Amino acid sequence: AQRVTQPEKLLSVFKGAPVELKCNYSYSGSPELFWYVQYSRQRLQLLLRHISRESIKGFTADLNKGETSFHLKKPFAQEEDSAMYYCALFMNRDDKIIFGKGTRLHILP
Amino acid sequence: DAGVTQSPTHLIKTRGQHVTLRCSPISGHKSVSWYQQVLGQGPQFIFQYYEKEERGRGNFPDRFSARQFPNYSSELNVNALLLGDSALYLCASSRLLADRYQPQHFGDGTRLSIL
């Protein structure tokens, strides 16, 4: 069955430390992966997509088809990174998108 | 630009009733998609419309329906409400069909509570 798994509900990291938010997916077709972020009292917004291979706000994510993962990484956490992060999978063959349950990132001062 | 606007912001209904939620996309955006977000979960895809045609449907019962108007605004209708329909309903818009599953612009949502 298709699914997106974000194993951590809450991740606490000290400011300046590296951050890695895990995302694993299950899909037999060709996946398109995304990360969305929701800051406190703000709307859900697209952070980055794997096809763009871009770095946004210092975050990067690499699609690893062998490990079926799309982990979100940042070398040095900042307090403004505290937010809810969702990993999402677009299933090309089924024309649907599914989201993970989300990970709340808390940056400690 | 006001962004994606949704109305109402909050709604309380009882079981068995029906509800209509509304969404106005960003000006120039022709694609609208709807999501249900239950507390503690990620958004779950319900419908996607582009140029007034349904282009995608999630795993929701027929009690859920939607439509898109000539001005690209959209309505989500839910009939025979159940307690489990209590959730935040999000609308998102995109300019291009190719971006329909990469919605970049979400509304604040409508919080629906079923008593």
User: In whole angstroms, what is the distance from residue A59 CA to residue A53 CA?
Assistant: 11
Instruction: State residue A88 phi and psi, 5-degree precision.
Output: -135, 145
Those residues of chain A whose CB sits closer than 8 Å to some CB in chain B are 4, 32, 34, 43-46, 49, 86, 88, 90, 95-102
Contact B58 A4 (CB under 8 A): no
User: In whole angstroms, what is the distance from residue A79 CA to residue A86 CA?
Assistant: 18
Judge whether residue B100 has pLDDT over 60.
no
B70-87: per-residue pLDDT in tens?
999 999 999 999 999 999
CATH code of the domain covering residue B83? 2.60.40.10
pLDDT of residue B108: 95
Judge whether residue B114 has pLDDT over 60.
yes
Computed on alpha carbons and rounded to an integer, the radius of gyration of chain A in Å comes to 13
B102 near A CB under 8 A: yes
CATH code of the domain covering residue A34? 2.60.40.10
Contact B102 A49 (CB under 8 A): yes
Report the Cα B28 to chain-centroid distance in Å: 18
Q: Are strands A10-14 and A103-108 parallel, antiparallel or unpaired?
A: parallel
Per the structure, the complete domain to which residue B97 belongs is given by: 5-114
Stretch B99-115: mean pLDDT:
83
Record the tokens describing residue A3, joined without a space.
Answer: 């699914």
Per the structure, the complete domain to which residue A24 belongs is given by: 3-108
Task: Give how many domains chain B has, as a whole number.
Answer: 1
Stretch B103-111: mean pLDDT:
88
User: In whole angstroms, what is the distance from residue A68 CA to residue B19 CA?
Assistant: 39
pLDDT of residue A38: 94
Of B42, B56, B105, the CB nearest to A99: B42
Contacts of A90 in chain B (CB under 8 A): 101-102
Task: Give how many domains chain A has, as a whole number.
Answer: 1
User: In whole angstroms, what is the distance from residue B45 CA to residue B33 CA?
Assistant: 8
Contacts of A7 in chain B (CB under 8 A): none
pLDDT tier at B99, thresholds 50, 70, 90: low
Contacts of B101 in chain A (CB under 8 A): 32, 90, 95, 97
User: In whole angstroms, what is the distance from residue B107 CA to residue A44 CA?
Assistant: 8
Judge whether residue B58 has pLDDT over 80.
yes
Residue with more model confidence, B100 or A28 = A28
User: In whole angstroms, what is the distance from residue B2 CA to residue B33 CA?
Assistant: 18
